[in-house]
Amino acid sequence: MLERFSPKTRIVAGVIAFLLALSFVMRWYVFGITWQVNLVLLVISGSVMIISWLFFSRLHTYLNGVFPYERGIMLRMVPLVLLTFGFLMFVTWLIVPCVVGLFPIETIIQKQYTDLARIAGYTAQFLVVVLLNVLHLSEYLFQKWHENATRAANLEKEKSQVQFDNLKNQLNPHFLFNSLTSLDSLIQDNPDLAQQFLQQLSKVFRYVLQHKDKGLVSLYTELEFIKNYVFLLKTRFENTLEIDFQISEVSLDKKITPVTLQILIENALKHNIVSADRPLKIRICSDENYLKVENNLQLKKQVETSNRQGLQNLKNLYSFLTDSPFEAIEHNGKFVAYVPLIA
């Protein structure tokens, strides 16, 4: 039941309950007040605290609109503490005589209400008021911090998405140029293969156009696209490129970002030598949680049109999509990328 209330309300309720219980025990132990009279005093104290808390909450809600903390924390806190404390004193002065007059406990009240007890009571009430205001200020500052952190995270996510989109837009013209060059040579040498090549090329770009605005697609959908993409690469590189798929059935319904595999394969082709005597071998496998893309390392001395941001953009993007990290490492002469699969 308590879960329905905010943390601040639960804390305040706990503080009020503690103070009421403490005052109940003190009146019984120090002054020997009977439980019937003590119960009446408990009701009076609880009523004063609850009324004061309601006033405090309404006042803060009002001031949040007309005089927010941004205009000056101390300019708001000092008069607010004094105003809340004054209201508490007024309610105490108004309620206590009216209720006490209904019960034969005047002598007990007089016995309790010494100068020292009066000072201690005022001090305790003032400290409670200060505590409530500090609690409210702490909640406000935490809320602002959370809002700023969320806003910063959203801006960073948007930045990563823009960088990722730019990366896809850069790859597409580069890939299209190479594909058209291959198609031009095939038209004269092998018209039938050229026709198949053109059909696969159209499927590749249809996929990119259909899913360019989607955040996630199933691994099965991405693999269907990659098969068309690999056909084009095999036609272009022939036996100098080997791509092996070992995909588990349990991972096919998991999600990844569109063209993730294209980017990783293109990254391997861009940075590594691909030749008859040094073929590039790419292996794509999966388990229930990760898709692993690895290739043998045979790095080029110089890579054109590389800003080394592609993998970092993927890493940033996946960090906002899942708690599982996107990782890219070099190990035992291989480059390995671990892509988290999203349920």
* In a shared domain, residues 240 and 105: no
Structural domain ending residue among the three candidates 113, 130, 157: 113
What is the chain's length? 343
Tell whether the model's pLDDT for residue 20 goes beyond 50.
yes
For the chain, how many structural domains are there in total? 2
* In a shared domain, residues 201 and 314: yes
Q: pTM of the full predicted structure?
A: 0.55
Is 70 within the bounds of a domain? yes
pLDDT of residue 30: 62
* In a shared domain, residues 260 and 183: yes
* In a shared domain, residues 201 and 280: yes
* In a shared domain, residues 210 and 74: no
Quickly state the pLDDT bin for 325 (edges 50, 70, 90): very high
Instruction: Tell me phi and psi for residue 114, to 5 degrees.
Output: -75, 170
Is 187 within the bounds of a domain? yes
Q: What domain range includes position 234?
A: 166-340
**For 307, what's the count of Cα atoms within 13 Å in the CB-facing half-sphere?**
10
Q: Which CB contacts under 8 angstroms, 24+ apart, belong to 85-88?
A: 85/125, 85/126, 85/129, 87/52, 87/55, 88/48, 88/52, 88/125, 88/129
Q: Is the dihedral of CA 203, 205, 210, 216 positive or negative?
A: positive
* In a shared domain, residues 221 and 325: yes
Asked if 59 and 83 touch (Cβ cutoff 8 Å), the reply is yes
Is 131 within the bounds of a domain? no
User: 92 vs 107, 125, 167, 339, CA distance in Å?
Assistant: 18, 11, 69, 65
* In a shared domain, residues 312 and 182: yes
Q: What is the percent of the chain where pLDDT is above 90?
A: 21
How far apart are the C-alpha atoms of 275 and 180, rounded to whole Å? 20
* In a shared domain, residues 93 and 202: no
Quickly state the pLDDT bin for 1 (edges 50, 70, 90): very low
More confident site: 107 or 314? 314
Is 216 within the bounds of a domain? yes
Which amino acid is it at 10? R
Is 146 within the bounds of a domain? no
* In a shared domain, residues 252 and 328: yes
Tell whether the model's pLDDT for residue 286 goes beyond 80.
yes
The mean-pLDDT minimum among 114-123, 139-148, 245-254 falls in 114-123
Structural domain ending residue among the three candidates 68, 89, 113: 113
Structural domain ending residue among the three candidates 113, 143, 175: 113
Tell whether the model's pLDDT for residue 274 goes beyond 90.
yes
Q: What is the CATH number of the domain that holds 183?
A: 3.30.565.10
* In a shared domain, residues 73 and 220: no
Is 121 within the bounds of a domain? no
Q: What is the percent of the chain where pLDDT is above 70?
A: 76
The stretch 201-215 carries a mean pLDDT of 79
Quickly state the pLDDT bin for 202 (edges 50, 70, 90): confident
